[in-house]
Amino acid sequence: MRVIILLLVATGIGYWYWNRQNSIDEESVARFYDTATEHVLNGRGKDLCAMLTKDFTRTGVNSTSQGRIQENADKEETCDKYNKMFASLAQAERQGGVSTNYQVAIEQIEISKDRKSAEVKVATNISMALGPVGRIAETRDKSSETLVIRNGKLMLQKSEGSAITRTIGDRF
């Protein structure tokens, strides 16, 4: 009898753990974006890339002083863009005086009924400043993103958004 009770308790704990690891809640979404922010601020492109699903897609429009640019990218293209961006930032920081600011605001979270995916509306702002010159570039982005659970890990599957990029010649 004791063995059966212990077995039932162990099964219950295992089910709870498995269900918790394989479902999304608002806290796990917030942790996801906190982790992504940490990776961005520390220039960890590979870690950021590992947060994307294999079938990740990014679509959006970036408005610049040169006009509107339609952007479409899969995981490979996005990871390549991350690596180039972080390499450029590292080089600029080595030359001195460049600082980066990155902020994410979660505006809305809609979790699916089965708790396996979530639609998240986020606003991001990344800016670079150069010593006495001040801000030299800024991008503000509003996106609707799809997060999914894959093998117990929360990952970004899809991002659709629009951005405005300003550089030193533009008015801030």
- Assign 169 a pLDDT band (cuts: 50, 70, 90): low
Confidence at 18, pLDDT banded by 50, 70, 90: very low
Going by C-alpha positions, the residue among 152, 168, 169 that lies closest to residue 28 is 152
Across the strands, what pairs with 139?
126, 165
CB neighbours of 136 closer than 8 A, spacing ≥ 6?
128, 129, 130, 167, 168
Q: CB under 8 Å to 139, separation ≥6 — which residues?
A: 62, 124, 125, 126, 127, 163, 164, 165, 166
DSSP 70: E
Average pLDDT over residues 72-82: 94
pTM of the model as a whole: 0.81
Residue 28 has pLDDT above 50, yes or no: yes
Greatest Cα pair distance, the chain, in angstroms, is 78
Q: Are 158 and 55 in contact (CB under 8 A)?
A: no
Mean pLDDT of 60-86: 91
Residue 171 has pLDDT above 80, yes or no: no
Whether pLDDT at 85 is above 60: yes
